[in-house]
Amino acid sequence: MSEALFCIENLQVAYPRRSGEEASWAVDDVSFTLQPGERMGLVGESGCGKSTIGRAVMRLLPASSRVEGRVIFQGQSVFDLMPKQLQKFRGEAIALVFQDPMTRLDPLMTIGKHCIETLQAHSPELSTRQAKEKALATLAKVNIPASRWNQYPHEFSGGMRQRVAIALALLLNPKLIVADEPTTSLDVTVSAQILQELTRLCGEENMGLLLISHDLAMVAEYCDRIGVMYNGKIVEMGSTETVFRNPQHEYTRSLLKAALHIQAVKDNGELIIVNDAEKQLPIINQQSPILSVTELKQYYTIEPNFIERLFKTQAQTIKAVDGINLDLYPGEILGLVGESGCGKSTLSRTILQLIPPTSGKVEFLGQDLTKLSRQEIRSSRRQIQMVFQDPHACLNPAMTVGESIADPLFIHNLANAAKAKEQVLWMLEKVGLTPAEVYYERYPSDLSGGQQQRVAIARALITHPKLLICDEPVSMLDASVQSQVLDLMLQLKQEFELTYLFITHDLWLARFLCDRIAVMNGGKIVELGLTKTIFANPQHPYTKTLLAAAPLLSRA
């Protein structure tokens, strides 16, 4: 039998403690082996220790962390590597793809500079021209066109930044890729392309893949073997088919049940299952729309740099939102789906007037938001709130949970301090953060991803808005927490008489939650209709491509 590519033996990791806190193992006695060319998935809820294993493997843990056990790569102890060896090891031997690409990308460097710097640090024999050719070929594999070479990370969508991070990991042809939620912010088509590319490399280059994910359907489709983590331990390990068909551990069974709960639909497409009860899809309201978008456009111009101007290169126009017409009716959930970079998030920010449109109208409750003053727009936001993809990024780390949720009340002069606290405690109860008094005093860093998202939802609802725009609100959460948050959103919708614009790249999520779906591609809406109709009989070729690419757990 050939030598194992990678081996973890009795790994234990404890993070630095605050004074007064008890020591606890984030990773507790984990062991497994990965063979060359093998693809292994690691699944479990947020906070179970999956990402800690990835960081321990790369020796990227905080300096005062306590680490015990061994990590062996091709017979060599990773924990014994000297600084020079470690620099070569990272990238050439093992590459890590982080969940949040902005932690990997320098905002002051163009995408091209990122690639050139990475290649020249590890392969100084390459000329700049050779490095650029190799980089462009790698970027093309993840669907980043050469025209974006001179752009900066902030000029890319979240999904496109993640594609760049994956390209940077592939640049040096590593023997093992540790991919930590690598496709969280990607649509199904790009996810499928990237994972197919990684699968191909595993076969052709004998490259190993450790895929850390909360997406059970994706792991089922692309991994040979799966390890299920709970509370720092691996509670179940086996071939993917065996674990999914006959799960042994109670936690594995609960994960599968939660994932299938979201994907469950009756054969005729008429009914979806929510809290194990049948929910009839509502007929679209015949009353006036709560939100009406007319011929909305959001164009960006990329000016040529100095060298390009010498060669008379013309400025490039990106049509992020290109003539959108959309009506949203009171009480409905409209899903907006499409690939990363298609303009979904730009559309939501333009609706909110966070960025002024190039042209077009946005009417909310009969009022054209594009014609309002800054003060009037700010006032209108009491009625339209947004829940973002990454709750950690939109919660101030220096503010307690109570202060964060109360903040909109003070911004809109809706309550004094005493009344605000009373309302916040009531809202914490509503979103399931109990005992409310305890969570009121906590900071975002003390919470799991699912709890942070509940805080973000509470903050959005505290002003009692009519419309909630949700931009990928559960894409970073594992299946069990995702299911809880979605059920919570459905419950709150009834209680607060909410209307949702739900932006997602997850088609099964859209089918679970939405009454109608709008499919977006290249800045335009290419198909719009009732959810059951879109899934049963898609009309546009792009919609058919999306549906064909979406991994379905029951297929596994």
Measured CA to CA, the distance from residue 91 to residue 93 in angstroms comes to 6
Residues 258, 480: contact at Cβ < 8 Å? yes
- What are residue 277's phi and psi, to 5 degrees? -120, 150
Quote the DSSP letter at residue 269: S
Nearest residue to 173 via CA among 229, 128, 122: 122
The vertex-444 CA angle with 441 and 450, nearest 5°, equals 110
pLDDT reported for residue 237: 95
Name the percent of the chain in helix, strand, coil, to the closest 5: 40, 25, 35
Q: For 21, how many CA atoms within 13 A lie in the half-sphere containing its CB?
A: 10
- Map residue 233 onto helix, strand or coil: strand
Neighbours of 496 (CB within 10 A): 13
Element containing residue 294 per DSSP (H, E): strand 291-302
Could you give the CA distance from residue 428 to residue 404 in angstroms, rounded to a whole number?
Answer: 12
Quick one: tokens of 143? Answer: 């669907």
Overall fold of domain 6-261: Rossmann fold (3.40.50)
Cβ neighbors of 489 (< 8 A, separation 6 or more) are 457, 470, 473, 500, 513
Alpha helix stretches (DSSP H) within 333-478: 344-351, 374-380, 391-394, 401-411, 417-430, 436-440, 449-461
What sign for the dihedral angle of Cα 484, 490, 495, 496? Answer: positive
Fill in the amino acid letter for 114. Answer: H
Do 110 and 152 contact (CB within 8 A), yes or no?
yes
How many angstroms separate the CA atoms of 241 and 398, rounded?
45
pLDDT in tens, the chain (556 residues): 457 888 999 999 988 876 555 667 889 999 999 999 899 999 987 778 888 898 898 898 888 888 999 999 988 899 999 988 998 898 889 988 877 676 678 889 999 999 999 898 888 888 889 999 999 999 988 888 898 899 898 888 777 888 888 889 888 889 998 988 887 766 677 777 778 878 887 888 788 999 998 788 888 889 999 999 998 999 999 999 999 889 999 999 988 888 777 766 544 433 333 333 334 444 454 578 999 999 999 988 776 666 666 666 666 788 889 899 999 999 999 999 987 778 888 898 899 898 899 999 999 988 999 998 888 888 888 899 998 877 777 888 899 999 999 999 998 889 999 999 999 999 998 888 889 998 999 888 888 777 888 899 899 999 999 999 998 888 767 777 778 888 888 888 988 899 999 998 778 888 888 999 999 988 999 999 999 999 889 999 999 988 887 776 654 4
What b-and-e string marks burial along 346-383, b requiring 16 or more CB atoms within 10 Å of the CB? bbbbbbbbeeebbebebbbbeeebbebeeeebeebbbe
Asked whether the whole model's pTM tops 0.75, one would answer no
Alpha helical stretches, state H, 223-274: 240-245, 250-263
Enumerate residues 6+ apart whose C-beta is below 8 A from 152.
Answer: 107, 108, 109, 110, 111
Q: Angle of helix 449-461 relative to helix 479-496, nearest 10 degrees?
A: 10
At 221, the amino acid letter reads E
Residue pLDDT, tens place only, 354-391: 889 999 999 998 899 999 888 888 888 889 999 887 77
Do the beta carbons of residue 196 and residue 39 sit within 8 Å?
A: no
From the list 467, 433, 513, the residue with the least C-alpha distance to 291 is 467
Kindly report, residue by residue over 147-193, the tens digit of the pLDDT. Answer: 889 989 888 877 788 888 888 988 888 999 898 888 776 667 777 77
Side-chain half-sphere exposure of 132, counting CA atoms within 13 A: 11
